[in-house]
DNA sequence: GTGCAACCTCAAGTTAAGTTGAGGTCAAGC
DNA sequence: GCTTGACCTCAACTTAACTTGAGGTTGCAC
């Protein structure tokens, strides 16, 4: 038995992603469909999951390049197993947790800045000796880096 | 007594923002310096705070247009008071809290998808009847909207 | 009163993530 | 066997947020 193939239009319908975007993802190396004799793309059913992953990762603020890195961890040749996906998902979880931590830190910083009236962070920096602030010259650029 | 003015280069140094970016912000309406007889920009010291606010807001994922909306709430003519800044900062806090909630929701969703092996979210949607999923056609597009 | 760093404008380039359009081909139903 | 919707490529456009470069001017220090 061989894998079942779907057209780009079907993939678009199943994922909610525009056909043009799917072609673009292929161009970027995130998808790699085979071609029919007539040069039309044929995707694997598993690519639905792949695209879904792309969408979720985008929601988390990852760029397509980073997403490609994640996807590169999937095995080539065979269809990814549940375990393969779980491995990637766990990595993502770590990234989300970091993002949440970052936001929490920013919120706290903002709170402090409300308190001291110092939006330029010049004074607030005193509260943040643990951060790497000040290493890269002045300014709040360093706040969330 | 009149306000003390600083040049664009000084503002750049104090905020860590490139001179070209500051000119760009002016073009976008986020800054509004006066001009010398020789057509050079002169900023208020308070603009340091203004730029700092822009940077923080950007870190939170706001676009310049949204940031401009926030800044528009500041009084024109007189220098913003601490209370003015605090009002805006409180609004921002709400936005950060929302963002954190959103990320938490996504993380939970990812956890569930790891559990059921369903990255396409077709099944996971069952866990999310409370969300507005399904209203806009299939696909994970709706996850974080 | 001159040198020169810092300033000015305006146009064009950059990256990300796509979309839109022109012009042409494929494939499935009747 | 033909029609027609779905597909193809390639180039150009879009938005955000800037940067870079060319060519010219200002203003402060000596």
Q: Is A96 within 8 Å of B110 when comparing Cβ atoms?
A: yes
Q: Is the pLDDT of residue B42 over 80?
A: yes
How many residues does this entry show for chain B?
Answer: 145
Per-residue model confidence (pLDDT) at position A111 = 72
The pLDDT-based confidence of A130 (bands split at 50, 70, 90) is very low
Q: Which of A13, A86, A144 has its CB closest to that of B114?
A: A86
Is the C-beta of residue A39 closer than 7 Å to nucleic acid chain C?
yes
A46 in contact with chain B, both atoms CB, cutoff 8 A? no
Cα–Cα dist A76/A67, whole Å: 16
Q: Is B106 within 8 Å of A141 when comparing Cβ atoms?
A: no
- Please indicate whether residue A81 or residue A67 has the higher confidence score (pLDDT): A67
Q: Which residue's C-alpha is at the least distance from the C1' of D19?
A: B20
Cα–Cα dist A133/A143, whole Å: 7
Q: Is the pLDDT of residue A53 over 90?
A: no
pTM summary value? 0.74
Mapped onto helix, strand or coil, the DSSP state of residue A34 is strand
Q: Is the pLDDT of residue B22 over 70?
A: yes
Q: Residues B31-55: what's their mean pLDDT?
A: 93
**Percent helix / strand / coil, chain B, rounded to 5:** 55, 5, 35
CA A38 to C1' D17, whole Å: 42
Which helix (H) or strand (E) segment holds residue A142: the answer is none
CA B37 to C1' C2, whole Å: 21
Q: Is the pLDDT of residue B3 over 60?
A: no
A96 in contact with chain B, both atoms CB, cutoff 8 A? yes
Cα–Cα dist B64/B84, whole Å: 19
The pLDDT-based confidence of A58 (bands split at 50, 70, 90) is confident
Which helix (H) or strand (E) segment holds residue A72: the answer is helix A64-72
Chain A residues inside the 8 Å CB shell of B60: 103, 106
CA A17 to C1' D3, whole Å: 29
Q: Is the pLDDT of residue A87 over 50?
A: yes
Instruction: For residue A96, give how far its alpha carbon lies from the nearest alpha carbon of chain B (Å).
Output: 7
The pLDDT-based confidence of A91 (bands split at 50, 70, 90) is confident
B111 in contact with chain A, both atoms CB, cutoff 8 A? yes
Is the C-beta of residue B39 closer than 7 Å to nucleic acid chain C?
yes
Among B56, B83, B85, B55, residue whose Cα is nearest residue B71: B85
């Amino acid at each position: 038995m061989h894998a079942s193939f779907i057209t780009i239009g079907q993939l678009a319908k199943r994922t909610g992603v525009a056909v043009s975007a799917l072609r673009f993802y292929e161009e970027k190396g995130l998808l790699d469909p085979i071609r029919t004799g007539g040069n039309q793309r044929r995707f694997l059913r598993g690519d639905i999951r792949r695209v879904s992953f792309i969408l979720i990762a985008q929601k988390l603020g990852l760029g397509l390049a980073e997403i490609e890195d994640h996807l590169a961890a999937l095995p080539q040749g065979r269809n990814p197993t549940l375990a393969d996906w779980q491995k990637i998902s766990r990595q993502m979880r770590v990234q989300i947790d970091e993002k949440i931590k970052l936001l929490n830190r920013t919120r706290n910083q903002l709170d402090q800045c409300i308190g001291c009236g110092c939006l330029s962070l010049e004074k607030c920096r005193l509260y943040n000796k643990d951060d790497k602030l000040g290493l890269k010259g002045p300014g709040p650029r360093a706040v969330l880096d």
